[in-house]
Amino acid sequence: MKLQASPVEDPKVSLTSLIDVVFLLLIFFMISTTFEQQTALQISLPKASAHAELVQDEVLEVAIDAEGRMYVNDNGLLDSRPATLTAAIENVAEGDRELAVILRADANTPHHFTVTAMDVLAKMGFSNLSIAASREPEANQ
């Protein structure tokens, strides 16, 4: 009896289970990851109190009136363009980016003027920004 030798086959690795595991890991990491958008400018809103005092001597104050006219330390600007505001802030700050900045905007100021001022301050590297608020009178109960 003559037996024939069976041809030797190369072992095959099934990648199906490996691909399943990779997809499961991918789905797990996609679900467990939190997508949080970081803001460029950290704003510390002041508490509205009757006796708020500023402890720092030097302050950069940016004020915006109801018509959108901007003032830097009570000096009016020619216009409300970001380039004009940047130049005025640079003249006052003299390179000191740790200077406290107070943003005062009228209650009727158009929103885009306030956002423009905050954007200019953020691009210039100021991080110590406070928004001024006035205390509302308490109602008698």
Rounded Cα–Cα distance for residues 24 and 8 (Å): 35
* pLDDT of res. 43: 43
- C-alpha separations of 88 from 73, 91, 95 in Å: 10, 5, 12
* pLDDT of res. 23: 94
Asked whether residue 137 is domain-assigned, the answer is no
* pLDDT of res. 36: 63
> How many domains are contained in the chain?
1
Asked whether residue 78 is domain-assigned, the answer is yes
Asked whether residue 51 is domain-assigned, the answer is yes
Asked whether residue 6 is domain-assigned, the answer is no
Rounded Cα–Cα distance for residues 92 and 60 (Å): 7
Asked whether residue 66 is domain-assigned, the answer is yes
> CA 81, 82, 86, 87 torsion: positive or negative?
negative
Asked whether residue 115 is domain-assigned, the answer is yes
Q: The domain spanning residue 61 has which CATH number?
A: 3.30.420.270
pLDDT tens sequence for the chain (141 residues): 677 777 778 878 788 888 999 999 999 988 888 766 555 444 444 455 555 554 556 888 898 888 888 999 888 888 889 999 999 999 988 888 888 888 888 878 888 898 999 999 999 988 888 888 766 556 554
Q: Residue 69 is part of which domain span? A: 43-131
